[in-house]
Amino acid sequence: MFRNLSGWLYSLRTDPAGTLIEIVFMIAALLLSLILHEIGHGYVALRCGDPTAKMMGRLTLDPRKHLDPIGAVCMFLLGIGWAKPVPINPYNFRHRNRDMILVSFAGIFVNLILFLVSTFLWVLCFRGNGTVVAYLQQFLMIMLSYNISLAIFNLTPVPPLDGYRLVNQIFFKGRLDDALSPQTMQIIHFAFLFICLSGVLSNAFSTVANFCFTHVAGLFMNILF
C-alpha cells in the first residue's frame, strides 16, 4: 500500500482509475486516523480538567486544525507520521501525573480501537460479495493499516511522541523535560525526522504491524467463521 513517488506514478500510468480510488481512500483514512487521534488527546484532557484544547478549537473534525504537512506526507508515503500536537496545560489537571499519563495514552488508545474495529469489519466483509463490498474491504485495509502504524509509531519514546510522554511520566514523574535542554530537544527532533524520512523505521514498524494484524485478523476469523 505504501509506495514512493515513482511507485505512485507507475500505478497512475498502469491503473489510473484504481489508483485514484485508492488515493481517495488513503486520504479519507489518513484524515480520520490523525484527527481522531488528536481529538482523543484533547477530549481526555478536557475530562481531566484542562480546557486548553477545546478553547483553541482542537476538538473538531476540521483537518486544518490538526494536520502537520510533513507528518501527513510521511504517513501517506511511509506509513508513519504525525499531526500537530494538542496543546495542554498540565497545571489544570486534577491529578497531574495520572492525568498526563491518561492524556498521553488517549491518542494511542483511539488508534488501537479504530484498528480493532476496522479489522473486525474487514474480516466480516468476507461474508459478502460484490463491487461495493470489495471497495469497502479495500478502505478498511487502509484504515486498519494506518491505525496500527500510528499506534506503534506513537509508542516510540522520542519527543514529542506519546511514548516519550508516557516514559517521562511513568518513570521520571515529568522531570525528563527539565533534564533535556531546548537545544537537545531540537537535535533529537531533527535526527528522528531524518530517520523517519529515510524510511529506516518504516520496515521495523511494518514488521510489528503485520504481526499484530495477522494475529488479530486470525482471531476474528476464528470467531466469525
Write the pLDDT tens digit of every residue in 35-47.
Answer: 999 999 999 999 9
pLDDT at 75: 72
- Mean pLDDT (the chain) is 89
Q: Say whether 38 is catalytic.
A: yes
pLDDT at 76 over 80: no
Which of 119-128, 166-175, 186-195 shows the lowest per-residue confidence on average (mean pLDDT)? Answer: 186-195
Count of domains observed in the chain:
1
Nearest to 165 by CA among 81, 100, 110, 82: 100
Q: Assess whether pLDDT exceeds 70 at residue 5.
A: no
Q: If you average pLDDT over residues 192-215, what whole number do you get?
A: 84
Instruction: Give the pLDDT of residue 194.
Output: 80
CB distance 202 to 210 below 8 Å: no
Q: What percentage of the chain exceeds 90 in pLDDT?
A: 59
Asked whether residue 200 carries a pLDDT value surpassing 80, the answer given is: no
Q: Residues 38, 50, 99, 162: which is the catalytic one? A: 38
pLDDT band at 10 (very low <50, low <70, confident <90, very high): confident
* pLDDT given at position 74: 74
Amino acid at 42: G
Q: What residue numbers bound the domain in which 151 lies?
A: 5-224
Residue 81 pLDDT > 90, yes or no? no
Q: How far apart are CA 118 and CA 116, in angstroms?
A: 6
pLDDT at 206: 87
